Structure 1
Amino acid sequence: MKLSQTYLFYPHNKALEHALANSIGRLGDEWVEAAAPDTQVTVADNFLYTRGNYEQHRFSSNILDSVREALEISLTDEYRHQEPSAWAETQNSLGNILAAQGQQQRDASLYEKAIQCFNNALDEYNREKSPLDWAATQYNLGTAMQALGRQMDGAKLLKAAIDAYTNALLEWSRKETPEKWASAMHQLGATFHAHGKLLKGNRTFQKSVVAYKNALAVLDADNYAFELAAAHNNCGAVLQHLGESEENPDRLEEAIRSYETALTVCLEQQLPIHLAVLCRVNRSTVRSVLAELTKDTTLAHEVADEFEMIIECFPHALQPLCLKHCEEQIHKAKCASTCH
């Protein structure tokens, strides 16, 4: 079946930012200034946190080519022989930068090179001698394979990403490394969701919900406001698709509650306004699905009003394709409110 549109939030990629921070020094002092992001932009970025796994805001993306070249030059056999751990860390950094370029250019070959870098790093790191480095590299590997799997609708890649995140969780625990554990759980939830859309049945969607709820167990609004909102929103998205697949109104109601919680976090923690708007769009979309499933004409009429309100009140915060989605949903809801 064709599943309805959902809008996901992508968490901070701290590994990418760390890779850039550690690598820019190799280029010389003049590049440090060039790496600073443009802070003079006054137009709100309505795509913030929605582009994918390799979005970062600390450095200018114009620096990626130069950093990549510097890292590639440094990865000699002699360097590997003399400092194997540093060589592996450099492979990790290069992998993240290649994957960022892969996302930027939608270039599968760059993702594949990134995946090879992470596998190269794993040739040096092993779980027994370097458990935390091994886990971090498994996480990086999973994120690159997830991103490429999404782009290519590749079930094998997504399954491999699940395996990599699961490996990372062998070393990252809720008690000892709660932030990393929550990040891996969030990404595991996202990967199960993407994988589930390519499979028959609902078991993979159900695993996604469990993973997101695990992440939510350690996130709080004071310390992890965006991550909390993202996990609630993205959990709502998989619940929405699970409800559609099962034709289960209770799942759809749960999705609505998840989106509403995400919206509350966005508003109370003053996150970028377009994120709150996307939560509203998601909530109204799943209410439309519920109206169609239950043949509730009153609810369908309410949904049409909600989408009209979103367009009227938040035109500045809507992405173009999201605006088109809202307009289509108005037509669909009005038809449903009069056709049954």
Structure 2
Amino acid sequence: MPKIDPNILKDFGRAVKRARTLLGWDQPTLGGKIDPPVGASFISKVEKGRKEALDARTVGRFRIALDLDESWVDKFLDAEETAETLETKAEREADLVIDRLRREGMTEGTSDDLLIQLANNFTEGDHKDRDTAYLSVKAALETLKSSEHIAQLAGNADAQFAALMKDVDALNNQGEFDLAQDKLARQSAWLREQKDRLNRLSELQLEKELNQDRLRNRPDLAADRIIRNLREFPQGKLFEAIRSKTTDWRNQGHKVGDVFALQVSLALAQSNYERVKNKKPLAASALHSLGWCHFRLAERSSGDQHLYSALHAFDAALKKTSKAKDPSNWSACQDGLGAILHQLGQRQRDVALLEQAVVAERAALKVVHKLNPPEIDSLWNNLGAILQRLGELTEDAGKLREAEDALTTALTFRTKEEDPFNWELTRSNLALSQRWLGAITEDVVKLQQARDGYAACEDLRLETDAPFSWAILQWNIADLALARYRLAPDPALLAEARDYVTRARAFFIEGSEYQTERCDELIAQIDAAEAGS
């Protein structure tokens, strides 16, 4: 079927907007008049001529609602009716994201057009669920507001250089060499100030452009900009400078759940690899960085594409890294490989993949154990997390005890005060291992140890700084309370389980269907336990 001329789409959009405006309706009002009703995101796309999948039936609905001329229907008679013709899931998700932003007071002073455009950009983008799309839109709005001061910081200093040089010549002609030198010294100081000012302006310009890239959801352009800004580094130092920026963006994106930042880090890593792919030592380092960027995106994606890209990157890095000559980097590649196999094994409930992940982590630890590198705590934590999942899946108490030992070792390298985020991660993993070990062996004492561990994590109050981790913790505590009830029935445990899972669900309902379903399943188990008591 032929596509509708873009000019016809734009003309129809203008006609819709004009008719709506004359009636005094806003976009949600018009959406409610359409039969069946649609959201503001759908209306906005139509009015801007961006709803390419319009057909005669949909145009007819607009004609009836707005009393438009019947000739508009004729222009769309050849258009094919598809699933995209109607309101899409992404458009509905965009409206829900906007509603949440308004409820949370994030939209003051922001136009509807900007909100709708941002929401559609991110709900249609590379996001696992509505919550990650919401976080991306929220981050874009925050950076937009925080950058409004930049234009006011740029000054307008005009250097009268030629006139000054004439003054210096005149003073020299008069024999006033010291006075001439004083003028030159003052000029030199002024030039240094101007250099600092221009450097600051350059930083502000970059910040503004990166904010603009976020608003347009263009991580590729942001990465190009960052690299261009690093050009002053000598050729031999540029690779490390880009790698450092890649790590910064990846860590920040991982900590706050910012998918845009993770996509920027991936684009930086890809560019750095292309730069050095024919240089063996640097190529291995670039592949290692690339693998972790893919992995962090995979954690937030429902598909496996990023996981397999990460697997390929770590595998290639290992082939370029000597275990004997470069044990530290060889171990780091094994750790990355273990993380990927863990994630794949967990998603596919594949015991063989989880066992391969254990082999990879043990190999990494064996090589660097004597070196005692700073990241050895992460290796022990990762090994423990894999063993926990393997023990849970196979109901193997031995594996769960191994997990408990590994995670206890990891905690000897981490403190709550120095690194609360990663300490909580390891402490939660340990409690989860104890929960499953207690359930499988019917050990009430072990289950109480798990509860004490979760209580220590609660003391960190992560609800503001790491809300997703906080919500997962609430679910885990509820799940543990139910497991304890099954061994030692006490109505107070069911009340605790319901209280904590309700908190978790109140967070997940805004954007994670999968986690909400897990909460509902747990609530159903609590209901059944109460009914049978």
1:154-303 matches, within 5 Å, as 154-173=350-369, 176-177=372-373, 179-266=374-461, 271-303=465-497
Q: Distance in 1 between matches of 2:508 and 2:347?
A: 25
Q: Which amino acid aligns with 1:161?
A: A
Determine if contact 2:341/2:353 at 8 Å carries over to the other structure.
yes
Determine if contact 2:494/2:526 at 8 Å carries over to the other structure.
yes
Q: Structure 1 residue 298: deviation in Å?
A: 4.4
Q: Distance in 1 between matches of 2:489 and 2:507?
A: 33
Q: Structure 1 residue 212: deviation in Å?
A: 1.0
Q: Does residue 119 in structure 1 map to residue 319 in structure 2?
A: no
TM-score when scaled to structure 1? Answer: 0.71
Question: 1:198/1:325 Cα in 2 relative to 1: closer, same or farther (>3 Å)?
Answer: closer
Structure 1, unmatched stretches of 5+, are: 1-19, 38-46, 50-54
Q: Which amino acid aligns with 1:63?
A: V
Determine if contact 1:304/1:330 at 8 Å carries over to the other structure.
yes
Determine if contact 1:304/1:334 at 8 Å carries over to the other structure.
no
Q: Distance in 2 between matches of 1:316 and 1:324?
A: 12
Determine if contact 2:478/2:496 at 8 Å carries over to the other structure.
no
Q: Distance in 1 between matches of 2:298 and 2:460?
A: 32
Match of residue 15 from structure 1: none
Determine if contact 1:240/1:251 at 8 Å carries over to the other structure.
yes
Q: Distance in 2 between matches of 1:287 and 1:335?
A: 14
Question: 1:85/1:59 Cα in 2 relative to 1: closer, same or farther (>3 Å)?
Answer: farther
Structure with more contact order per residue of length (Cα contacts < 8 Å, sep ≥ 6): 1
Question: 1:188/1:276 Cα in 2 relative to 1: closer, same or farther (>3 Å)?
Answer: same
Per-residue CA shift, 1:35-68, capped at 9, x if unaligned? Answer: 997xxxxxxxxx976xxxxx87597234356446
Match of residue 60 from structure 2: none
Structure 2, unmatched stretches of 5+, are: 1-219, 232-241
Determine if contact 2:377/2:410 at 8 Å carries over to the other structure.
yes
Match of residue 229 from structure 2: 29
Q: Structure 1 residue 290: deviation in Å?
A: 1.0
Per-residue CA shift, 1:246-304, capped at 9, x if unaligned? Answer: 2322222121111111111336x974355444333322321122112223334334544
Q: Which amino acid aligns with 1:61?
A: L
Q: Which amino acid aligns with 2:480?
A: V
Q: Distance in 1 between matches of 2:432 and 2:370?
A: 24
Q: Which amino acid aligns with 1:150?
A: Q
Match of residue 105 from structure 2: none
Match of residue 70 from structure 1: 271
1:197 alignment partner, SS class: helix
Q: Which one has a bigger Cα radius of gyration? A: 2
Q: Distance in 2 between matches of 1:233 and 1:226?
A: 11
Q: Structure 1 residue 129: deviation in Å?
A: 1.0
The number of aligned residues is 294
Q: Structure 1 residue 192: deviation in Å?
A: 0.9
Q: Which amino acid aligns with 1:287?
A: A
Q: Which amino acid aligns with 1:99?
A: F
Question: 1:129/1:324 Cα in 2 relative to 1: closer, same or farther (>3 Å)?
Answer: closer
Determine if contact 1:145/1:157 at 8 Å carries over to the other structure.
yes
1:1-16 matches, within 5 Å, as none
Q: Distance in 1 between matches of 2:444 and 2:436?
A: 11
Q: Does residue 152 in structure 1 map to residue 348 in structure 2?
A: yes
Q: Distance in 2 between matches of 1:25 and 1:173?
A: 40
Match of residue 61 from structure 1: 262
2:481 alignment partner, SS class: helix
Question: 1:25/1:230 Cα in 2 relative to 1: closer, same or farther (>3 Å)?
Answer: same
Q: Distance in 1 between matches of 2:308 and 2:471?
A: 35
Determine if contact 1:239/1:255 at 8 Å carries over to the other structure.
yes
Q: Distance in 2 between matches of 1:108 and 1:306?
A: 31
Q: Distance in 1 between matches of 2:313 and 2:294?
A: 9
Q: Structure 1 residue 168: deviation in Å?
A: 1.7
Determine if contact 2:259/2:297 at 8 Å carries over to the other structure.
no
Determine if contact 1:98/1:110 at 8 Å carries over to the other structure.
yes
Percent sequence identity is 18
Q: Structure 1 residue 233: deviation in Å?
A: 1.3
